[in-house]
Structure formats: C-alpha cells, structure tokens
Chains A and B, each alone.
Chain A
C-alpha cells in the first residue's frame, strides 16, 4: 500500500509522452479481483466526456453465479477495447472513408464530423463492434423538459485534439478514446484515476518498466473474445471466485464472455 500507483502511472505517462507517438503503445489493464462494481468509472466517463444521456463509454456489468448460499457476484468493467484490428474501422470506412482511424499510439479514433454527416457509417461501426462499446448520440439532454436546461450539459466537450458540443455530436456515434485529450495533457484516463478499488491501470506497453508492463508480465491475463483476433488493448486479470482471490486468477469470466 505504500506505493502510490497513480503517481507511478503518471511517471510512466510522462516517459511515454517524451517519446514519438508511434513508439508508444497504450494499454489498459483491469484487475477484476479489485473491481467492486461501484460505477465510479461509469459516472466519471459520463462527466468527463459529456456522454449522450443514458450512456457511458465505460460500463460495468454484474451478475450472480451459483445458488444461495454458495453464490458469487461478479463485476465486469468494459469500454472500447481499442483493438489493434478494429472491426468497426473496416465496417465504418466502407460506408464513409476516414470515419474511423488509428492513432500511432493505438487509440482508435472516430471522426465525429464524418460520422454525424453519415449516420450509416456509425451504425455499421456499432454493428461490427463485438464489444457493444459504441453508443449513438441521438441528441437530447438529461435536463431537457425540466425547469432548466443545465449548463454542464451544453458545455464544451474535449475529445481527442478537438472541441465539440452536443449539437455537433448529435447523430454521430461515440465511444471511449482512452481519454486521449487528458493523455495528451499529461493526465491519466478518468476511469483509471477515479477507480476506488484501484482495479484500473493504464500505460505504455512498449515501456518494460511501466506499471502496466509489470502487471502484464506478472499476472495471467486474458482478453475479451480473444478468439476473434481483434487484439484488444484492454487486458483483464482474474477471477474464479470469492474463496481465494489472490490465487484464483483463472479465466472464468470467459465462460460468459467468449
């Protein structure tokens, strides 16, 4: 407990930012043993990215397993997996060229302008995504129809290297960017910093001294639907059950998620 993992990841981040973008390889590591299903990440994402009402680019699923009294309860955080081979890119770009691209650091980028202009491209991307990580912005605000449309909903959105408003994102599809606008400003993704169970890690997989590299080397990790060969940049640790979490790092989650 004596090591501040957030500070360490900030150090990792600064080292990575000192390199040319092409030499960075962002990955997210999620230790499901430490996910407590609190949704801090979900709400942080909603606020940070001004997600369309009713959506968050980060979701945490939960389920019960087995019967009373031997029941288990699991929590499973997911977001855009920033696949090295993103099925959404192919699907969207077939409809509108340039709708989806990849940054040299691995972040899968949606071009809101293109997607807002051609909603079919967004629909194709959403349909192609095996991780249901893409949300449609159908316009509207949480406080629409109440006594006051509140300013936190109409504020400027920072996304990647651009600024947007909800008026511009209407009609487009949106998703997690790994909080690229924060990364580029030397900040970790919002879901990572806010995690109260410290289940979330982020950093440069190309840097062998980074915390994420260390976690990947030390633990048995798995990816959702690895069989699809999309090569997700989100890696998971654990777990098989409650009884002994330290050793139970099997891939039981994959029973449902494969």
Chain B
C-alpha cells in the first residue's frame, strides 16, 4: 500500500481506482488512454484543478462538514442481520446521517481499494437500505432506556422503579425475597445458587463420564460412586447427562452477532459453566441452514463433520435465478448487496429471474415469471422440476457421476456429490450409505456401481452409474440418484401441480429455463420455504436442484461467498489467540433445555416413543422451545433467564404461550433483560438493564455469502452511549450488556474476567479489553503477510479528531491502546478508520466465467445419511435421506387440518421493516408506511364479503378470539385493515411482520410513579403471530420442523371476521 496522505489528488486516486478496479475500462477512459497521451494529461490537469477546488470547498468555514473524514466513523448496521457496513456522519457529536461504507464490498460494487485515503472515501457514499439509514431513529429513540428498571407490579404490568445498577446486580446474583415489597412472598434464587460447579477439573471429568452414561457406556451407579463428592452440583444425580445446576441459568441472546456472540459463549459456558446459550435462529430460517449443513457435511475417519450453513447465487454473473420464498429486494441476506447484481442483469439482458412466492413481492415485480405457490409446497414444485429434468436428461451427468474429489478434479470440477453412492434399502426404506466392508470389499469407503460392478470410493478418481437398484452380496441397494428420482416420480406432474398450485406448463418452463444456462443458474431460498414443519425437506429439495446442474463454485452458480478473516485469532494464533486465553475455563456439559443437538436415544431420559417433548439432534438455537420446555421442566427447569436482543413472546409464532409462562414467577423465578427499550417480552422481566444501541457499541458481524470477496466488518462506537455510567472492576463504563456480564463476573469471581482475565497482565475489565483484541486479530489477518499497513501520522490524527466528541469513559486512547496491544495500534487504527477490511476487487473477481474466487471445494450430499439414520423422537420412524414432500404435521407427526378456516396465513417483511426495531418506531419509515394490512386477493376478499379498507380480525383454531391475550395487561386485538390486491394468490392472506406492538414505546409505562405516555404511531397495525397454530401435542408452543427446527410461521389456516 502506498502512503496515503490527504494531499494526494482525489482525481488521481479516482483515476487509479478506475484502472485498478475497472478492468473493463469505461468508454471515456478508453478514449482518453487510447487516443493520445496528451489528451489524458490534459484531463489530469483539469481534474487536479477540480480537486483543489474541492479541497477549498470542503475545508472552508461554513462548507459541508459531512464531506470531511474527521466527521465520519465507520461502523456496522444491525437494523437487519445483513449488517451492512455503514458510514456514520457526525455533527456536533450527533449522528445525523448514515450511508453505506464505500470500502465495503457489500455496499459498493466494486468497493473502493483499501488504500483509498479516508479523506477521499469521506466524500464517496455507498448504498444503504432505508432501514439502515433510519438507524438514527433507533439510536435517538425517545423511548430509549438509560437507567436500570426493576418491576413494581406483576410481570407484564409495565410498572417500574429505577434502581442503582449495583443494587440490581447484587439482587440478581444473591437472590432473596426480592419482590416482597409488592406482595410476592417468595424466595428468588440468585445466580450464586446456580453457579454450583466451579472446579474446572471436576467439571471436565464429570462431563466425560456423563456423556458415557448417556451413551450407555457407563452405569449411573458407577457415575455416582465416582463423583459422589460433587453430586450436589448436578441437576439430578440420577440423570447426570442433564449436567450441573449451572445449566439452569439460560441466556436467550436473540439477534446477538459475532463479537458479542463469542463473548457470550465464552462467558456463559467457560466462565459460568452453563450450556444454555441460544440465538434466535429457528424463528428466522434455521431449517435452510440445516438443509445446507446436512447437504455439505464431510465424512472423515468414520464420522460426519460439520457442514456449511449457507450458499447464495453469484447473481452478478448468473443468467437465471429462481428465488424460492425470498428475493433480492426485501428481507433475505440482504438487499443492498443483492439488488444491484440483479437489476444490472435485468436491464442488460444478462439475467432472468423467477420468484416463487404466494405474494407478488418487489422482487417478483421484476421477475420474468412469478410463481404464486401454495404455501409450504416448495418441495412439490422442486420435485416436479426434478422429475422433468431427469426425464429430459437436463442435468449434468458428468458432474453427478464423479463420486469423489479426485474424479471431480478430473472432470474439471471443484465439487462433487454422492449421487452415485449406494444406499442400503432396509425394510422400512432407504437407510445408511453402503460401506465397502458391508459387502466384504474393503473398509469404511462408500460404494458405487460402475458398469454393473461395485467399486469402493477411495482416494483415486471414481465415477459411478447414476442409476442402479439391486442386490449386492445380499444387501439391497439403490443409488442416491435413483432414490431421488423415485421420489420425484412418486407423483405425476399433474399431481405435483395440484399440490403446489403452479400449472404444469409453468413448472416445465421454469425447469427448462433453469437448465438452459449451463452452470450460470441458481436456485436460491431463504425464509419462505423453510419456516414450515416440512422446512428442512423443502430446503433439501431446492439444494438438490443446484446439485443436479452442478453449479456450485461456478461463476453465476451457487457460492459460499468470500468468507472472512478470523477475529478470534485462531488461524494466525496471534496477536491474541482468544480461545486459549481463558484461565480457569469451565467445561459446560449436559443436554440443553431445548434438547437440541442431542438424540433422545442417547440420553438417560429415553423410555421409548414418543418422548415427552421432541428432541432435535440436527439443529440448534431452538428459540421457540426454550421457555415452553422450562414450563414442562423437560428435561429440567430454568431458574434464571437472561433475555437479550429478542422478543420471544412476540416474534415467535404463538408467542403468547411464552408470555403466559413468563408471567408466572413460579416457573422461571428470575428473569432479567438487557434491552434498549421496554420491549414486548422484556416487559415481562423482573429487571431491565439498559443496553447500548448498536451505533454505540462493538461487534464483528460476518458477511453474507452474496459477497464474493473476503470481508471482516467492525462495529464500533460512533457516538457517546446514552445509558448511565456505572463502575465495574473499578472502571467507569456505560451500562450495557457487557457491563452487566462483567459485573456478575465481579460478584461471583468468575474465571476469565477481571484482573488477568485473559492471562497474566491482560485484564478483562471493560468491553474494549475484549473487542479491541478481536480488532487487532483482524488487522493481522489469518496468515503471515496479511497484515494491514500501519496508519500514517495523518490518519492517526484524523482518527483522534473523529472521536473528539467522546468522553473518556467511552474513548480513552491509552486504555484502548493497552487493550489492543500497543504494537498493534497503528494497524488497529487503519481498520477502524475503514470500519473493517475487505479484499480489493481485482481481475479474478471481475472475470465473468469459470470459477468463483473463494471456492467451497467439497462434496455435496444429495443423500443425507445422518438424517436417514435418525428416528423421529415422537414417532420412532426414520427420517428420509432425500427430499420428500410432506404436508404440515404436528409434533406427533400427524397431518394438521383445521376445518372452517379457509385462508392460509403468511407473513413477509417490507423493505422498510426488519424486526421489532424498525417499523413503526422509526418515524421516517412509518411516514412512508404508517401501518400494515391484511393483504388479500381482491376476488378472495369479495368471496368472503370484504372490500378494500374494511377492518378484519384474524382468527385461528388455537386463537378463536383473534387477540393477543396478554397476562397482567390489556389484550391486543389482532385487527387490521384489508388491502385488496391482484398480486396475491387467492386463498392466502399476508400480514407483514413489523407492526402490532404493545411494547417499544407503544403503550404507557409507569416509572417511579410517573406515567410516560406511549406513542399511538407505534401502536398501529397488527402482528399476526398470535394466530399461528399452537402445536396440539406439546400444547404450549408453536409447531416445529422436527429436523431443521424452524418454527412454523406459514402452516396456519385462519378466517377473517369483520371487526
């Protein structure tokens, strides 16, 4: 990198930028360079003058201050999880304008080279969606909490008193009769009572033996004898695999992101010793991740390892993309990165898209074909496409025949599949993959059939026959491809069409288009197909489409994206190898409260089928199961719950069931929250600690695979946090999630925090002690030679100037330098000045053919063996290894049908709305869309006697009154205005997910005896979640995908009642 000085000419920089990035030079550049040198020299001198002029304007008194680097701090948005790198412009200490970060490959294509001077980048704004721009209004929300609240009425009553931070921490740590003064005569256990197992060595030994007990390799009696001194620390000594009492402290971290996520896990598991850390993923689109995970697990040394969770089409080079239940304009992951790649292709004629969605989304508005599918039948549509593709031989035979890496290489591919691998056909259907040892011809290798003869899949190139069904040495087998083909042919095209509601002609047209562009086509999905009880299979069917054309790693096909440098220092092992920097680290163990990542059969609770509640061996972050499981005390109860950045009682389908549980202090005796406002669920907490908003804090969010370049983003404070200043470990800091975590540590003496928390001489007493080590790691990269250059003196100066509005509590250069390591500091400044680091766009990224730059390079499982081998914990029946179509089912595996409810309910997100924190609380956004509607096809509305603008109530089988029944407060009717449109499938109603709040400033709040009026603008519209079906088997939660774990958002039938 060249020395970057503010004096270097803007114009020259831009010329270089164009040359370095442009590659395909602009026509003007071609003219200038191609014609004669004199012309371009003249041009340079002109733009030099332009630059001089610019400098004058920008620096002149009264000039535009937001054009200057000293008024810019780069950070990362979180108005949605796309987490766009942002440029926050600051005027007199106030964040007044947020734009996209031009260094970010997510917001500018191609992004500015990393050595672009920050003075130049300050003037170049990159794109950002409206939510991100309205972040200013989430930051400066008049309902932000700044002091600690303790409830002064029953849970949910929204009556509070402010109490000192230290007292609140004392109370949650020590417990006691905390609510006696409001008439609740009960003892609340404190966290000190749950911090039962403290000895790292004992914990490690118990963990190993508890695992052995669960697997049946050690008897309970033997365990008890061996660990008799410590049995008191366990939840239940007769079931040691439930783990220690520490597990009864549960952290529901909701939309926590990288950075805080690593800290939360480090602290809860390694410092406190509880396994119960959760994100919110199953109310988002988890089954999609799990479908990818099972499709990409690699088999090594007799075990299936971890897979990849996510792929995206390389839309910048695609010729055709079919979007299942998502798009490139709203929601997904996410619009600023995705939209331009598609619109560029549409306008140039490079690209066509099809959108599968019952609602004509803004993406569908740009589609060559809009396929208004019946909700939840995506697998039927995909299997119909597969049937057509196989019948017409429109798949990549050579790709599919390659059975291993070596064969893929020989075929010029970077990935391969198990399409040709043989599957054992058991009495109850396809089971495990055949191993060479099963037929006496080797070891653990998989087996294919080549020209009718079995062959073991070793390291040498092996290709196999795609189709085979027969018997080898007495073992019935079929290829994975044959099993998929049989599934696709299990119904006629007409039958599939009947199921999914898409005419055969359209299915065929889309299948033809998908297979007419070689590798430059992709099948993309996100939330729509997977938030169903059959979500995993829908996802798997869509992935199968990609495998059949072998598009993975190809330009224009599917990609795992550019990835990131590792902030935990685990690759380079310096400057801070954070995983190793945890003195006295505890070993958390035991089944999780949600029974995720555990197989029922491998637990001491196994007593035949059905289990008391389902177990979820394939998935994690099972948000909707946590609170209801605590109510059933299965596998154990929860004594203390920390709610963070999420609203399980609102955002979860049938969320009201969680509120009923939370309202009863006998079930979870201690509930505390970190929140920026009083939210719908934090309203049911005993204490709320004010958190910093995302523009006030740190983080290292990861990047969507849609971005082809390597990217590491840094969220950093841009303005002084508005929460109260507290003292923890003797250090003044703003009240925040981190301050609460550290204060609990201080009281309990938890390992890995406080003095020498990271090792000798490396204290962990403020948030910067943690996050600036992450930043330092990113500055050095994953390998030697990847370090960023040191910041110049001028850049260091601008760095300081840009932080002149901070108090010393927030920005103390000496404390920051100490945390980051003094030697790393100039590099840390370089990437803080850019909000992260990105790979520069170069010739390889610009190439439109061949392979993507960052490849996946591994195998794809058309057949998911692990899934096929596992039994459903309620029915005892094995799952399917290939995608199948199933109707919506309850926890017992029975089809759900509600008679008398003729309309299917779906939700969606407007581009103006994310989760709770956008519409309608951001007033710029609600100025454009003040309320949401019940969207319905005009003809369907007429059929049921409704017209545009009528008010209607949503009613379902498990919510016959059509309202949010809110314990200890007024109910909220699920009533909205009908909007009749043509762009909706008849028989389906759609309600967008942003409105219908009672928290977040929507209702009156009593604090210290003073009533704070809610804002009626924040109460508009409706939230449809309470209509979503309660599972008839578990009774206190929504329905759930037994494999992927996704909560069922779109399987509920409703009716509309005039209101």
- CA–CA, A238 to B137, complex, Å? 35
Bound complex: CA of A33 vs CA of B17, how far in Å?
28
Contacts of B650 on A, CB cut-off 8 Å?
Answer: none
Determine how close the nearest CB of chain B comes to the CB of A36; give it in whole angstroms: 4
Q: How many Å lie between the Cα of A75 and that of B366 in the bound state?
A: 10
With beta carbons under 8 angstroms apart, the residue of B27, B57, B330 that contacts A186 is: B57
Bitwise, A1-44 to B at CB < 8 A (1) or not (0) is 11110111011001101100000000000010110111110111
| A-chain residues with CB within 8 Å of residue B924 when the two chains form the complex | 43, 46-47, 142
Task: Choose one: B91, B96, B343, B1015; the contact of A33 (CB below 8 Å).
Answer: B343
Q: Are B53 and A17 in contact (CB under 8 A)?
A: yes
Q: Is A187 an interface residue (CB 8 A)?
A: yes
A47 touches B125 (CB 8 A): no
Of residues 63 through 114 on chain A, the ones whose CB sits less than 8 Å from some CB of chain B are: 64, 66-69, 71-75
Chain A 134-168 interface residues, beta-carbon cutoff 8 Å to B: 142-143, 145-152, 155-156, 158, 163
Please pick, from A4, A42, A242, the residue contacting B108 in the complex, using a CB distance under 8 A: A4
- Smallest CB-CB separation from B18: which chain A residue? A7
Question: Are B982's CB and A71's CB within 8 A?
Answer: yes
Q: Are A69 and B370 in contact (CB under 8 A)?
A: yes
Contact A47 B142 (CB under 8 A): no
Contact: B14 with A11, CB < 8 Å?
A: yes
Q: Which residues of the other chain, A, contact B102 by a CB distance below 8 angstroms?
A: 6
When distances are taken between beta carbons in the complex, the residues of chain B under 8 Å from A209 are 27-28, 31
Q: Which residues of B contact A71 (CB under 8 A)?
A: 360, 370, 982-983
Additional 13 contacts, C-beta under 8 A, given A186-B54, A190-B125, A196-B329: A3-B26, A36-B362, A39-B130, A39-B911, A47-B924, A68-B938, A71-B370, A142-B924, A150-B137, A185-B57, A186-B123, A188-B125, A246-B348
Q: Is the CB of A146 within 8 A of B54?
A: no
A255 to B612, CA, bound (A): 63
Interface size of A as a range: 35 or more
B31 to A, closest residue via Cβ: A209
A68 contacts B937, C-beta separation under 8 Å: yes
In the A-B complex, the 8 residue pairs with the smallest Cβ-Cβ separation, listed nearest first, are: A246-B349, A73-B365, A34-B343, A146-B142, A142-B923, A18-B50, A43-B130, A193-B125
Are B928 and A42 in contact, CB atoms less than 8 angstroms apart?
A: yes
Task: Give the CA-CA distance A150 to B126 in the complex, in Å.
Answer: 26
Least Cβ distance of A43 to chain B in Å? 4
Q: Which residues of B contact A54 (CB under 8 A)?
A: 927
Question: Could you say which of B332-340, B420-428, B434-442, B1036-1044 contacts chain A?
Answer: B332-340
B710 CB-CB contact with A under 8 Å? no
Q: Is the CB of A17 within 8 A of B360?
A: no
18 pairs, CB–CB < 8 Å, chain A vs chain B: A2-B23, A3-B26, A4-B17, A7-B112, A33-B346, A34-B347, A40-B127, A47-B924, A143-B142, A143-B923, A146-B142, A146-B143, A150-B140, A150-B141, A152-B136, A185-B123, A186-B50, A198-B343
When the two chains form their complex, are residues B62 and A187 in contact, meaning their CB atoms are under 8 A apart? no
Cβ–Cβ < 8 Å partners of A195 in chain B: 127
Q: Is residue A256 within 8 Å, beta carbon to beta carbon, of the partner chain? A: no
Kindly identify which residue among B26, B92, B109, B133 contacts A40, using a CB–CB cutoff of 8 Å: B133
Tell me the complex Cα distance, A111–B343, Å: 38
Residue B362 contacts which of A38, A150, A156 (CB distance < 8 angstroms)? Answer: A38
Pairwise interchain contact A18-B368, C-beta atoms closer than 8 A: no
Is residue B947 within 8 Å, beta carbon to beta carbon, of the partner chain?
Answer: no
Which B residues from 544 to 563 make CB contacts under 8 A with A? none
Measured in the bound complex, the distance between the Cα atoms of B341 and A1 in whole Å is 7
Whether the Cβ atoms of A242 and B125 lie closer than 8 Å is no
Q: Which residue of A lies closest to B97 (CB)?
A: A47
B140 touches A194 (CB 8 A): no
| Chain B residues, Cβ within 8 Å of A145 | 1015
Interchain CB contact under 8 A, A67 and B982: yes
Residues in A whose Cβ lies below 8 Å from that of B58: 185-186
* CB nearest to B346 among chain A residues: A245
On whether A18 and B49 interact (CB within 8 A), knowing A68-B984, A242-B365, the answer reads: yes
Give, as a whole number of angstroms, the nearest-CB distance from A211 to chain B: 8
Determine the distance from Cα of A39 to Cα of B923 in the docked complex, in whole angstroms.
14
Task: Give Cα A242–Cα B986 distance, bound, in whole angstroms.
Answer: 21
A182 CB within 8 Å of chain B: yes
A2 touches B136 (CB 8 A): no
Given A11-B18, A193-B99, A34 contacting B346 (CB threshold 8 A): yes
- A176 to chain B minimum Cβ distance, whole angstroms, is 16
User: Is the pair A40, B128 in contact by a Cβ cutoff of 8 Å?
Assistant: yes
Q: Nearest Cβ in chain B — how far from A236, in angstroms?
A: 13
**In the bound complex, do residue A31 and residue B362 qualify as a contact, i.e. CB atoms below 8 Å apart?**
no
Contact call B24/A2, Cβ cutoff below 8 A? yes
Interface residue? A227 (CB, 8 A):
no
Task: Classify chain B's interface size.
Answer: 35 or more
Q: Within residues 84 to 117 of chain B, which ones have a CB less than 8 A from any CB in chain A?
A: 91-92, 94-100, 102, 108-110, 112
Check A75–B24 contact: CB distance below 8 A.
Answer: no
Would you call B937 and A214 a contact (CB within 8 A)?
Answer: no
Any chain B CB within 8 A of the CB of A181? yes
Q: Separation in Å of the B948 CB from the closest CB of chain A?
A: 12
Nearest neighbor of B502 in chain A, beta-carbon distance: A69
- Smallest Cβ-Cβ distance to A187: which chain B residue: B123
In the complex, chain A residues whose CB is within 8 Å of the CB of B923: 53, 142-143
C-alpha gap A151/B90 in the complex (Å)? 12
Q: In whole angstroms, what is the CA distance A61 to B893 when docked?
A: 46
Q: Which residue on B lies nearest to A7, using beta carbons?
A: B17
User: Does B707 sit at the interface, judged by CB under 8 A?
Assistant: no
A194: chain B residues within 8 A (beta carbon) = 99-100, 125, 127-128, 133
Within 8 A of B (CB), among A39-61: 39-40, 42-44, 46-48, 53-56
The reply to whether A146 and B134 contact each other, CB–CB distance below 8 Å, is no
Interface residues of B in 661-715 (CB under 8 A from A): none
Q: Contact string, B894-905, partner A, CB cutoff 8 A, digits 1/0?
A: 000000000000
Given known contacts A40-B127, A197-B339, is B98 in contact with A47 (CB within 8 Å)? yes
A residues in contact with B841, CB < 8 Å: 2
Q: Which residues of B contact A6 (CB under 8 A)?
A: 102, 108, 124-126
Q: How far is the CA of A145 from the CA of B923 in the complex (A)?
A: 13
Closest residue of B by beta carbon distance from A55: B927
Say whether A224 faces chain B, with CB atoms less than 8 Å apart.
Answer: no
Q: What CA separation (Å) do A1 and B316 show in the bound complex?
A: 7
Closest to A66 in B: B982
Q: How far is the CA of A145 from the CA of B343 in the complex (A)?
A: 42
C-alpha spacing A64/B983, complex, angstroms: 8
Known contacts A143-B923, A196-B335; decide if A185 and B937 are in contact (CB<8 Å).
no
Q: Check if A196 sits within 8 Å of B336, measured CB to CB.
A: yes
Say yes or no for B364: interface residue by CB 8 A criterion.
yes
Q: Does B11 contact A (CB under 8 A)?
A: yes
Taking the complex as formed, is B22 at the interface, i.e. its CB lies under 8 A from any CB of chain A?
yes
0/1 string, A113-149, CB within 8 A of B gives 1:
0000000000000000000000000000011011111
Which residues from chain A contact B143 at a C-beta distance below 8 Å?
Answer: 146-147
A75 to chain B: closest CB distance in Å? 7
Whether the pair A38, B130 counts as a contact (CB closer than 8 A) is yes
Interchain CA distance A169-B339 in the complex, whole Å: 36
Contact A151 B94, beta carbon cutoff 8 Å: yes
Does B344 belong to the interface (CB within 8 Å)? yes
B67 within 8 A of A: yes
Once bound together, how far apart are the Cα atoms of A54 and B924, in whole Å? 7
Separation of A39 and B21 alpha carbons in the complex (Å): 29
Quick one: which of A68, A146, A156, A244 contacts B982, CB cutoff 8 A? Answer: A68
Quote the shortest CB–CB distance from B27 to chain A (angstroms): 7
A49 to B: closest C-beta gap in Å: 10
Is B925's beta carbon under 8 Å from chain A? yes
User: Does A199 have its Cβ within 8 Å of any Cβ on chain B?
Assistant: yes
Q: Is the CB of A185 within 8 A of B846?
A: no
What is the CB-to-nearest-CB distance from A179 to chain B, in angstroms, rounded to a whole number? 10
Q: Distance (Å) between the CB of A2 and the closest chain B CB?
A: 4
Please report the C-alpha to C-alpha distance between residue A243 and residue B349 in the assembled complex, in whole angstroms: 11
The CA of A184 and the CA of B63, in the complex, are separated in Å by 9
B residues in contact with A11, CB < 8 Å = 11, 14-15, 18, 47
Q: Is B215 an interface residue, CB under 8 A from the partner? A: no
Per-position binary interface string of chain B over residues 359-378, scored 1 when its CB falls under 8 Å from any chain A CB and 0 otherwise: 01011111110101000000
**Nearest chain-B residue to A39 (Cβ)?**
B130
